[in-house]
Amino acid sequence: MNHDILDALSQITREKSVDRAMLIETLEVGLASAVRRKYGATADVQVSFANDTGAISIVLRRTVAETIEDPALQMTVEEARAHRRERLGHAARQHGGEPRALAPGEHDDVDGG
H helix or E strand, kind and range, residue 57: strand 56-61
Cα–Cα distances (Å) from 30 to 26, 74, 108, in that order, read 6, 23, 21
pLDDT tens sequence across 72-97: 888 888 888 887 665 444 444 433 33
Query: Phi first, then psi: what are they for 15, rounded to 5°?
Result: -75, -35
Q: What is the pTM of this model?
A: 0.66
Residue 37 has a pLDDT of 94
Domain map (residue ranges) of the chain: 3-101
- The class level of CATH for 3-101 reads alpha beta
Taking only the tens of pLDDT, the chain with its 113 residues reads: 678 999 999 999 999 999 999 999 999 999 999 999 998 999 999 999 999 999 999 988 888 888 889 988 888 888 888 876 654 444 444 333 344 444 444 443 333 33
C-alpha 93: how far from chain center: 9
Q: Residue 93 and residue 107: Cα distance in Å, rounded?
A: 10
